[in-house]
Structures are given as structure tokens and as C-alpha cells.
Amino acid sequence: MALKLVPIWACCTNQQHCCTYPQSLKLGYGSRLSGSSFLNLRAHKKWECLVLLSETERAITPVEDEQPLAPPGDASVQEAQIIQSKGFHRDLQSLPKPLSATYLSSGQHDGSNVRVAYQGIPGAYSEAAALKAYPKCETVPCDQFEAAFKAVELWLVDKAVLPIENSVAGSIHRNYDLLLRHRLHIVGEVQLLVNHCLLGLPGIRKEELKRVVSHPQALEQCNIMLNELGVARLSSDDTSSAAQIVASEGKRDTGAVASARAAEIYGLSILAERIQDDPDNITRFLILAREPIISGTDRPYKTSIVFTLEEGPGVLFKALAVFALREINLTKIESRPQKKRPLRVVDDSNKGSAKYFDYLFYIDFEASMADPRAQYALEHLQEFARFIRVLGCYPMDKNL
């Protein structure tokens, strides 16, 4: 029975699962093939790890939030149609249809272009982020975040670009949870300056609008302008679908908050630009791929990890101190309760039990995994952590 090998960045306490690959070293398979394959690299430091496992064995102690990859659908599932999204569209029927997680299948493509999945429809800010990262790419719309993850896993696309946080609205928690549930790797980031525009049918003025439709966060971010107009607010799945609704319904008293690109795609007029309350409205996106990249020290790198901690006083302080002691800058820390074990009970008195949340901690820090400081920090973190996983090491994006 042949083993299907899956590359996973991981750090673990079980030494037989820990192996490394320095940048100058060519990877090769070791001689041990009992349930999984191991690299014969024990002479090297263990904290830049690429563990090769069969799908039936895990690299690390499983966390209850993690879900095994769902097998591809059976033969009765129809293959999703993927239509290339490029240029501007006036005919709404010709726009590419979003992929659905239900209809994803392991289809092939010719590989002539980099195919990048994003959540939404053409004109979405996520599509703009994908085009910023890969200007000549073929963008593939997906109806949900999870559909974009699965599109990469099933080789329908090469990459996925998904939002992870906004400077005004905060973190996109759904994508943090999906990062743990899927075995994809962060290979880059994109920072995009959001420019909300008020759109309407050609020939109307913004004072004629009685209602405005958009994503709830976009409406909230344009609160001052919308209050001045005194319009009713209607919610949509995303900003680009709001523009599509206005164009398809053709109601002159209905506008949308969306991007300038969405106005051009759907044949709408820009009634006002930069209507967001905060001019410095930035969304950060992650680029996800099936394989990790080999990090270097030639440019500024960022590393993202997730871990859980042992119980005890001051354990979070100790965990964060491993980075401070090595002068590694933390750029992000996010905590998420474990979904299937949200509470743990601790008997602390004869009057009852105290209940505490069990948390996963997501951290971004400014260091490459090729940097010994990062390797030593993760080795030190192992003293307090029950579980550590490196989500990715990737070049930082400093361009807006």
C-alpha cells in the first residue's frame, strides 16, 4: 500500500517526529517506512521542522479543534465549473460563479497561470488583494472561506488569499479557526488599503438615495456619511455582491458601498469616494498554499504559530517571555477557545468548582525560521506548551 505524503510544519515533544532541513540541505527520504516516512536529519537542530506523514498519522498531539481532511466527494458530486475572471464585465451573466464547498472536486487544470481563490465575487476587496499579490493571476471566486481552503487542498487552485484582520473591525475569527482545521501553509501576506465608495445607477445623485446596501462592517465603517444622507441600511454577504444587487435590480433610490473596481465591473457610477470614517482603513490578507516555503534571512520575515499551554500560574507570561528574551518582536496575538472543549473544571475549594476556558493562542512574530533566535524560542516554548504548530514563515508585506 503506497503512502501519500503530506508536508507539515510542526514542532513536537515526541522526538521521533521532529526533523529539520537547513536551507542549503536537499531533502531526501530516510530508510524508515513504518506507517510514515522520516527524514534522516537528526544531526541538525530540530526547530525548523518539515514532517512527512501519511494521512493516517498525525505529527503532533491532536488538538480537539482540528478536524481531519474530508475525503473528496463521490462520483455523484458534479464537478465545479471554474471560469476565468479577468478584465471588466458588463454582462452580469458572464461573471464567474463562486465555488461552493459542496461541489468541489479534485479536478485538474493546465497550470498555465497561477490560480488564486478568494471569497466573494468579482470586485471584492479579496480579489484586489489577490491581484496585488499576483498581478497576472487567474482569480477564482468562492462562496465561502472554507470553499477557498478546500479549493487549494483539492488542487483546483494554486493559492488562496483570505482576510485575517482589519485595522478597524479587528480579526476575522472564522479564518483563524479554519487555519487550524486545514493543513495549508501561510506563504505570504498582503496589506490592502480599503477605499469604500458610494455607488449608484448612472445619472443619479447621492441625495436621491433612500437606502444603501453593503456588508455590515462596510456600512459601520461609513457611519458618518450614511448618517448625513439619512438612508436606510441593508445587509449583503459582501461589498461586491451589494454592487451586483444594485446593478441587477435597477432601483434608482438604492446605492451600494463597494470598491471602485466593483463600480466598473457592474456598470455603476461612483457618487462619492473614500467615504469611510477612518482614512487609514487597512485589511491584512494571508496567502495560503499546499506547500510551505523555505525561509531565508535575505529580507524581513514573519512567522505564525498556534499553541496551547499547560496549566499553571504565569504560564502565558512565561510563554511570551521566550520571545522577549531573544528580542523577537510580536506583531499579533489572538486567543480562541477550543471549540469541542471550551471549559475545564478545576477544584479549588470545598464550595464548588471553578470553570476556565481552554484556549488556543495564535502569535505572529518578526523572525525567520532560518534565524537561530526563532528556533531557540520555539524550543524554549516547548517547556510550557502542550501543542505547537508552525502555520507558516513568509516575507512581510510593507507596501500599501
Q: Which of 283, 303, 307, 308 is catalytic?
A: 283
Measured in residues, the chain has a length of 400
Alpha-carbon distance 373 to 396, whole Å? 18
pLDDT of residue 126: 95
User: Can you give the pTM of this predicted structure?
Assistant: 0.72
Nine-digit cell string for 150: 478546500
Alpha-carbon distance 44 to 42, whole Å? 5
Nine-digit cell string for 86: 479577468
| Cβ count near 205 (within 10 Å) | 9
Place of cell 441587477: 248
pLDDT of residue 91: 58
Structural domains of the chain in order of their starting residue, each with its CATH number: 113-193+281-291 (3.40.190.10), 197-280 (3.40.190.10), 294-399 (3.30.70.260)
CB of 126 closer than 8 Å to CB of 98: no
Q: What is the 3-state secondary structure (H, E, C) of 139-171?
A: EEEECCHHHHHHHHHCCCCCEEEEEEEECCCEE
Place of cell 432601483: 251
pLDDT of residue 203: 92
Nine-digit cell string for 41: 536529519
Nine-digit cell string for 154: 483539492
Alpha-carbon distance 151 to 82, whole Å? 11
Alpha-carbon distance 396 to 190, whole Å? 8
Taking each helix axis from N to C end, the angle separating 145-153 and 173-181, rounded to the nearest 10 degrees, works out to 30
CB of 378 closer than 8 Å to CB of 307: no
Q: How far apart are the first and last CA of the chain?
A: 50
Known catalytic residue at 283: yes
Nine-digit cell string for 156: 483546483
Q: Which of 149, 285, 307, 361 is catalytic?
A: 285
Alpha-carbon distance 9 to 393, whole Å? 10
Q: Cα torsion at 192, 198, 201, 203 (round to 10°)?
A: -120
Alpha-carbon distance 251 to 276, whole Å? 24
- Judged on CB neighbours under 10 Å (0-12, 13-18, 19+), 4 is exposed
pLDDT of residue 208: 93
CB of 358 closer than 8 Å to CB of 338: yes
Alpha-carbon distance 250 to 163, whole Å? 30
pLDDT of residue 113: 77
Q: What is the 3-state secondary structure (H, E, C) of 230-282?
A: CCEEEECCCHHHHHHHHHHHCCCCEEEEECHHHHHHHCCEEEECCCCCCCCCE
Nine-digit cell string for 342: 471550551
pLDDT by position in tens, the chain (length 400): 443 444 444 444 444 333 333 333 333 323 333 333 333 333 333 333 333 333 333 333 345 444 444 444 443 433 333 333 333 444 555 556 665 544 444 434 333 479 999 999 999 999 999 999 999 999 999 999 999 999 999 999 999 999 999 999 899 999 999 998 899 999 999 999 999 999 999 999 999 999 999 999 999 999 999 999 999 999 998 999 999 999 999 999 999 999 999 999 999 999 999 999 998 899 999 999 999 988 888 889 999 999 998 878 889 999 999 999 999 999 999 998 877 665 555 555 545 555 666 889 999 999 999 999 999 999 999 998 989 999 999 999 888 7
